[in-house]
Structure 1
Amino acid sequence: MTQPPHDEPTVSSPEELREQVEQTRAELGETVEALAAKTDVKGRAQEKAAEVKEQAAAKAGELKEQATVKAGELKAKAADLAHQAQDRLPVQVKDKAAQAGQLWEEKAPEPVREKTAQGAQLARDNRKVLLAAAGVAVVAWLARRRRKS
């Protein structure tokens, strides 16, 4: 017979022996499960893929939020610059622009005016989409510029 290890006390009753056997079985089962999990390459790959997918979704959400904020900032800045440009225009230039607008209304053929009006209305109706696209383009341009630096 073999002697018990020195770190474990000897069993004094059959009940204690049964408890020890059950505990050893449970530990062995946990060890086998852990080893099986380590050898399950497909399962580990799926877990890693799910983790990467989750991280990508989180990063996409962050980038979308940043793009929205940046688009709002750019929109405000563009509006401010447009107002500054209008304020700096001399009165003669504003008058000439008004005259050009009137001349356009008088001289442009009707189909051209209709198409122009449709395009302008389409731009007004899809303003958010156009601003979002412009914001995404600016963010992409900034990201590309940072990578080159």
Structure 2
Amino acid sequence: MTQPPHDEPTASSPEELREQVEQTRAELGETVEALAAKTDVKARSQAKAAEVKQQAAARTGELKVGVARISARLRDRLPDQAKDKAASAAGQARAQAAQATHLLQEKAPEPVRQRATQGAQAARDNRTLLLTAAGVAVLVWLARRGRKG
């Protein structure tokens, strides 16, 4: 038989002993639950993914506002010719994306196609942000190119 820990008094009656056993069982159950939660990788990864998704959504909102401000400022500064070039570049980017999508559908394995489809859907859902960012990038590139030339 084992001896009780030094910091816990021994039970003086069978009823006290039962209470101590029940308390120990309850504490052990809580410990087991805590350990099980730590080893549940799927639940922990889902929780982390949800947290990251929420952070990304918040950051996306901030970026949309910033990109819209920059885009408006640059659009006002550039001549019409640069605006036309930016629109042309956006059209070319769409055509290249369509070509890449077609090639991906022909050559890629199924899991890759599924991920690409999810990415394309996210791009369609955030089309304004992506087009604005592409437009800003083209406008910045044209503005820098115009200064050098």
TM-score class, shorter-chain normalisation, is: 0.3 to 0.5
Higher gyration radius (CA): 1
Question: What TM-score does the superposition give when structure 1 sets the normalisation length?
Answer: 0.47
